[in-house]
Structure 1
């Protein structure tokens, strides 16, 4: 534990701006002298007490609720004081300064000199202390930030499940199975005369298979949780006047982008966050892909390609009413070839044929495997939404998903790779048991990274620095 983790900390724990209530939070070892200085009395544990908050001269700063959470029964595992005052920014800043002043004024002769080190907390430091004091594990800590940042109800509910420990329980179940299997292999190494017969009698292969099956289930749920957290970036691309802006407006249910019959109306990207079945989608409307007629449009086209290359999915929009136009067909083919060249192989492209309300039956029949829609009437939009979720890998019902991050998915993938190597060793005619043991050990390390049992300090700093101050 770093030296700064022993310092008492204080911060405003509510969002900036005015509100009905604002909270100043203090956490540290035995903060009763600060409580006495500000509240003028001791506080009953975990009971809200209405009283005046006083400055160094005894003048009232504000009146509100004070709650003392003695260690270890607090959010951070340390002594915690919460001062709930009126939510004006000036009042909260005065209370914050008063806490620092009260700590600095404590007489070192009282044996509580550490309180003079009270400082303003860094982003996420309260939650970091909860993790360091074993109140929560790292996956739960991350879920707290994810709950705050959730952009859909489904994402919020999934984050709440992870925060309550559902994801951690799944990981710990895997760890228990893995550790038991490691014990068998290590015992075989310690007593080589038992050799492989010992592992066969203990059904090591069966245990490993069941472990892999459980891992597959956890990976599937974590992958879905990562989609919920990160959202899906969907870029609408195509020639000018194909109806890209109209499609964005139709998906968003609002007039966000300017729509005119003039080709090249959209010069820069327009982004909107929407949700489909609780899954957040960042939909990006881009400039029409063609040879630019002026410098401004050229920049817009370059930005369009940049957005396309970073997309999770691309909607390649075609105009059904132009399907038989020779020049239009040639330009569509040029764009299609460029997409194939510039897009990562894993990025799906959905062919969308717009203006079905204006197209002839013959034109609709030629649309091929794409989805025919009308951005104007809404026809086909539901099929498009369902196809989008399918191509990006969304499968699970919302109630079965817990919130996860890309680092969690990556760790689980590393575990899977190690277990595949271990399985190959077990199935070989002459297993190298020392290599098998190392594969299982590495799998355990990767798995433990999720909950923070084996996590480097620099990763912890990166994770908690993304929290808001006071949390």
Structure 2
């Protein structure tokens, strides 16, 4: 990517700090360094300097780092000015860069330039933002694996295998009377099965990473006074919801994020579902059903002393078909039952006491099992919804190729479509509007 534009931005988080960084990238970096510092710093050597304005007054002082392209993050000349972390100081230094010909960088533009200059592929570029946004140690490790290219490497291996198979198929088209015999001699069917198996393994790891990135939305549902707020507090480890013996205490959704084995769980404590003439409570109940529509998992809480009633069965029957569900029999400290697991009509059942903390670990494990998360974390890399979609489409085309094995032209076409879908992950086959959408979600200065 060739550009005559130099970009600049504050690369550290907003607010006050001990150190703040202004980053500049582009062809005018050396001239700007000369004006700001009085010299161009040695390449890749931290150099103390004073950052000066147009009349030579000192704006700040600190460390200057110069990276000559193409051996830099963006592939262009890059200058980093590491000074004091006050917002006004950083703004003055940034303004000086603008005066010297730079323009304000757009969100994600530094990383976009790194991608366009072949310093990172698209999956690695997205991993930069995922690493910054990681909310747990496991998520950070997975994002780092993607940034280091582990995800991309596995995708490229699959693409290479698809290309090799395509070469065999395309070659067979030149010999139409012997095409099937030619493919059988090359074990094309076996090669396709191998590719499908490896893609399934990549898909599994990507889904695990997607859960680490996106988290799981869990909604607590039930009649009033069954212990939803108590369970919310037990899972959160804090008194985030008000608990009383008065039915209908919770009138609006209360949201809290917790982590289980590194997976973010976005838990929503909702208003109890019941018939009521209270207008405010009715609004809360309507919001409960809205939360249910958007959730990944619903926990239906039942008072263990009376078990599942017709009203609670009606709640279950109204759940969307795609919604994963767990039945939680709470208050076993009052019913005399033991904490444990069970099953009812294919739905997992957990017996617990939110008030005393009995069975909470069983519930945590079942929440992870409900979304298919495996906690070992080995080989998991960060993945986004678009990656999963590309993998799903590639798997579909490979499945169609398997079915069209006797129709060589269709077989070849399905392999081509599978290759294109996989190439979307690393950006080797991506529309410009997709790139704009991806990088616009990055923070400025990255």
Class of the TM-score when normalised by the shorter of the 2 chains: over 0.9
Q: Per-residue deviation at 1:363?
A: 12
- Give the corresponding residue for 2:395: 416
Q: Per-residue deviation at 1:425?
A: 1.7
Runs of 4+ in 1 over 4 A off after TM superposition: 361-369
Q: Per-residue deviation at 1:190?
A: 2.9
SS in 1 for 2:50: strand
Contact 2:20 2:84 in 1 (8 A): yes
1:338 is aligned to 2:318: yes
- Give the corresponding residue for 1:447: 422
What is the aligned-residue RMSD (CA, Å)? 1.8
User: Going by fraction, where is helix more abundant, 1 or 2?
Assistant: 1
- Give the corresponding residue for 1:350: 326
The one-character-per-residue Cα deviations of 1:414-464 (angstroms, maximum 9, x if unpaired) are: 0000001111122xxxx1111111000000000000000011111111110
The separation in 1 between residues aligned to 2:399 and 2:312, in whole angstroms, is 44
Q: How many residues align?
A: 443
Contact 1:422 1:439 in 2 (8 A): yes
Give the one of 214, 223, 226 matched to 2:198: 214
- Give the corresponding residue for 1:111: none
The one-character-per-residue Cα deviations of 1:349-407 (angstroms, maximum 9, x if unpaired) are: 10000001110359999996621100011111111111111111113621221110111
- Give the corresponding residue for 1:182: 166
Give the one of 426, 437, 454 matched to 2:412: 437
The separation in 2 between residues aligned to 1:168 and 1:293, in whole angstroms, is 57
1:237 is aligned to 2:221: yes
CA shift in 2, pair 1:195/1:298, >3 Å: same
The one-character-per-residue Cα deviations of 1:26-80 (angstroms, maximum 9, x if unpaired) are: 1002521101000101210011100111111011111101111000000000000
SS in 2 for 1:43: coil
Contact 1:248 1:257 in 2 (8 A): yes
- Give the corresponding residue for 1:388: 367
Contact 1:225 1:401 in 2 (8 A): yes
Q: Per-residue deviation at 1:184?
A: 0.5
Contact 2:217 2:267 in 1 (8 A): yes
SS in 2 for 1:400: coil
The separation in 2 between residues aligned to 1:446 and 1:363, in whole angstroms, is 47
Give the one of 285, 300, 313 matched to 1:301: 285
- Give the corresponding residue for 1:192: 176
The separation in 2 between residues aligned to 1:120 and 1:448, in whole angstroms, is 32
* TM-score, structure 2 as length reference: 0.96
- Give the corresponding residue for 1:47: 45
Q: Per-residue deviation at 1:321?
A: 2.3
1:62 is aligned to 2:60: yes
- Give the corresponding residue for 1:110: none
Q: Per-residue deviation at 1:292?
A: 2.6
* TM-score, structure 1 as length reference: 0.91
- Give the corresponding residue for 1:400: 379
